Amino acid sequence: MVGSMTAVVLPRVIATPEGKPKRPGAIDTQLRALQIARDPSSWDDQEASATAVRFDDLAAVWDAERASYRPAPLADALARGGPWPVGQCIEIGSGTGVLTPLVSAQWKDTVCVDISAAMLARSRWRARVQADGARLPFRTASAAAVVIGDAPLFAHEVTRVLDGSGVMIWVNALGSDAPYYLPTSEITLALERATAGSWSSVESQALWGSWAVLRHG
């Protein structure tokens, strides 16, 4: 039944240091991300193109501004959010590949997906695809895992490409201050609307960020 979710919150084990970055306009982006999660049909080609241009412009400075802190929440999720299924992983919003070493250490068959060609051009991972997360170029039920790091949630596509025992990892490097942050309850509801079934979650915080691992059933 939709809404019958099981949620587990794990205690924090990686402390929060001083000096958390601030992202201007984060609240506006969060509101838009929430709207997209609730109504993916509100996303269109024009917004996709504008988003690609925006991240193309950020590509040159992305690693210098973010690489030092973005991996911590995902590393914590991988350490404490398992067990993990075997198979292909799709990393959505992979950008320059800051998180890819962690993802590919768990799933050797990882494909990086980003809407920005300039971001992908800076990644060293061999399997890279420029694509819109709203229209993933993968077969239905072809992935064991989907990792989304600070990108919009298109639940209908995530649930389409995941197989029956698949898992989704959601990471926000700046937690509730991240531009694409969504509460785990909203992520769960979006996944449940897309599948008409229940999802369970495990979540926690690490450094400045937050993470959630979600499973069907």
Residue-wise pLDDT tens digits, 127-180: 999 999 999 999 999 999 999 999 999 999 999 999 989 999 999 999 999 999
169 and 216 Cβ atoms separated by less than 8 Å: no
Six token digits for residue 201: 């979650």
pLDDT tops 70 at residue 4 = no
Give Rg (Cα) of the chain. Answer: 16
- Average pLDDT value for residue range 113-120: 98
Closest by CA to 74, choosing from 14, 162, 138, 9, is: 14
Whether the pLDDT of residue 3 is over 60: the answer is no
Could you list the beta-strand ranges (E) of 85-217: 89-92, 110-114, 128-130, 143-149, 162-172, 199-206, 209-216
Average pLDDT over every residue of 191-197: 94
Q: Fill in the amino acid letter for 90.
A: I
C-alpha 84/C-alpha 47 separation (Å) is 34
* pLDDT at 2 (0 to 100): 44
Confidence band, pLDDT 50/70/90 cuts, at residue 16:
very high
217 SS3 class: coil
What is the distance of C-alpha 177 from the center of its chain?
Answer: 15
Task: Read off the pTM.
Answer: 0.95
Task: Identify the pLDDT of residue 6.
Answer: 86
- Would you place residue 110 in the very low, low, confident or very high pLDDT band (cuts 50, 70, 90)? very high
Residue 217's pLDDT is what? Answer: 77
Q: What is the pLDDT of residue 5?
A: 59
- Give the chain's end-to-end CA distance (angstroms, integer): 10
The pLDDT of 2-26, averaged and rounded, is 87
How far lies 121's CA from each of 91, 112, 149, in Å?
15, 11, 18
**Cβ contact 89:110 at 8 Å:** yes
Would you identify the CATH topology of the domain 6-11+25-216? Rossmann fold (3.40.50)
Question: Peptide bond preceding 71: is omega within 30 degrees of 0, i.e. cis?
Answer: no
Instruction: Give the pLDDT score at 1.
Output: 38
**What is the structure's pLDDT at 21?**
94
Q: Which structure tokens are listed for 69?
A: 């802190």
- Average pLDDT over all residues of the chain: 95
